[in-house]
Amino acid sequence: MMYRIKYSTIAEIKIPANAQAGKTFAFETQQQLQTVSGDQRVIVEAIECYSDSALTKSPLTNTNVVATAADIANATLTLQFGTFQGISMMPLASLVRIIPDAANYTPGVFDLTMFREMYKIDWTKSYITLVDTAPTATVFSYVFNVCYDYLPTT
């Protein structure tokens, strides 16, 4: 399915070395994705996650390598909408759509994961949960492309 992106930004979650199972790691403040910007409301339309086979280093923290296929298969995403968990423990593999050749396997899907009227995300309360101890023992980043648009608040 084709999707025409209006606005797009990169977000990342930094994972420390030797991260343990069951730990959560939150997004930092996402200024460009705040719920209300002026008289406009930010609507998140799609999110995708990148593996190291698509992007080797984080564009935001260029000293951090990007999550491997094993790291992606080991994590879930939770998005907080005010006081409500709108997305709870979604496997990251369902957000990867760049599928390399069989020699460089990364979990993934063919279509961009899209959402309907997703707004009021509290990014500082949204996070990644590791299912098991991180396969990558050094510092790395989960990198996301967030596609969004603005709608009037009224």
Q: In 17-56, which positions are buried (b, 16+ CB within 10 angstroms) versus exposed (e)?
A: eebeeeeebbbeebeebebeeeeebbbbbbbbbbbbbbbe
DSSP structure class, residue 28? -
3-state class percentages of the chain: helix first, strand second, coil last, to nearest 5? 10, 45, 45
The pLDDT assigned to 100 comes to 58
Whether 104 and 52 have beta carbons less than 8 Å apart is answered as no
Dihedral in degrees, nearest 10, Cα atoms 145, 31, 20, 61: 70
Encoding tokens for residue 58?
């984080």
**Residues 149, 79, 129, 14: is their CA dihedral positive or negative?**
positive
Q: Give the model confidence (pLDDT) of 47-83 as tens digits.
A: 999 989 888 999 999 999 999 989 999 999 999 987 8
What's the average model confidence in pLDDT over 131-138? 94
The pLDDT assigned to 6 comes to 87
- 80 DSSP β-pair partners: 85
Q: What is the mean pLDDT of the chain?
A: 85
The pLDDT assigned to 78 comes to 96
Residue 111 has pLDDT above 70, yes or no: no
Q: Give the model confidence (pLDDT) of 21-32 as tens digits.
A: 999 999 998 888
pTM: predicted TM-score of the whole model, two decimal places: 0.85
CA–CA gap between residue 132 and residue 47 (Å, rounded):
23
Identify the CA nearest to 43 among candidates 5, 10, 77: 5
The pLDDT assigned to 10 comes to 95
The pLDDT assigned to 74 comes to 95
Residues 6+ away with beta carbon under 8 Å from 76 = 89, 90, 91, 92, 128, 129, 131
Give the percent of the chain with pLDDT over 70.
Answer: 81
